[in-house]
Structure 1
Amino acid sequence: MTTFWSPVWLSIKVSLFAGLIVAVLGTAAARRMARRRFRGKTVVETVFMLPLVLPPSVVGFLLVVLFGRHSPIGRWIEASFHTTVLFTPGAAVMAAVVVSFPLMYQAAKAGLEAVDPTIEGAARIDGANERQVFWHISLPLARHALLSGAVLSFARSLGEFGATLMFAGNIPGKTQTIPTAVYMAMESGRMEFAWAWVAVTIGLSFSLLAFATKLGRLRE
């Protein structure tokens, strides 16, 4: 049973950590980009959305190039903290963050742009600064969109395979998530394990998508 549940718990923990990070980064980025026009905005948004269309294996390769032991960042991490990111649970979290970020950013940006600017303007006239407007007006009004984006990001992290396999590897009990465990179970002919992990994934994903759909209806 430990062998079966280890990838499940790791996937959930990785998705939770990644979801929290993405919720903060995606909302912060959306706040900066919503309703603002500047030269190069299209390029910046394209970079933000790129992981959504790139093959996960390409994302994993780029992460290895950027954070591998022979990269400048990787050497700095190893020299400063006496550790490496590659093939660690942290690498699985980083891979999940990168591939799920576009979903959170897109949802947060749409939610913040949908807030009536006259309400925000009235708050500014009453003396509220930009931070107060964001925390007390924009964020509460966009909460359904933000929560929906966080749920979808969690679901995307839960199903991440290619980038995780390349960057974090498939080490049982350490970096083996449900998708990589299913792959290895198929390769070794342990179909009963593969089917069980698939059933767990479908159950979790179905519940998350149903919740996200319900949140979407609340926004209407």
Structure 2
Amino acid sequence: MQYPVNELFETIQGEGLYTGVPAIFLRLQGCPVGCPWCDTQHTWSKMAENAVDFGQIITKTGPDERYSELSAEAILQRIQSLGFTAKHIVITGGEPCMYDLRPLAEVLEPLGYQLQIETSGTFPILASSSTWVTVSPKVDMPGGYPVLADAMQRADEIKYPIAMEKHISAFDALLAEKPARAGAVICLQPISQRPRATELAIKVCRERNWRLSVQLHKYLAIE
């Protein structure tokens, strides 16, 4: 299994339940969902002409569409050679569930790494039972992909992006049709750092005893 790696870097997780945890981010190329507010639109297309050696990936100075095809074993070697010390690995994108992620778990978990996937819930989740699955459901996006009921049931955490009341209504409709599994953590995340979106998220979290996710990394101006 070869994974199209757009970025590999160490930082602090800025979203969801694991906010504040040192983490290695493995960003994969490719996503057809088409969220209008996406802040990683450079990961959407996977064109053969953008495949490069990993040396060009690690020396990037800004976001672009280049990626490097790496096996799970090669990804581990890069993590070790770069001297990363975090044990929490966030697999994101793009849409990471376009790919079978079980080979990554087979290589990384025996060495003490905890895997977390951040997915839109629009593709089947092929991951180990120990992988922490964060589903950020994307409803009625331009790509036309529906959120899968199986993804909602597999989610350990559901992190829903909002900006207006209509987004809360859409989330309620989704939960009614495709409920979260019992015990799943539910987070609301403002789509932007605008006060209106944040105030709405705080209000609803207080009313429903949900968690707030504020994209801490953007406030800290880190990756």
Q: TM-score, normalised by structure 2?
A: 0.22
Q: TM-score, normalised by structure 1?
A: 0.22
Select the structure that is richer in helix: 1
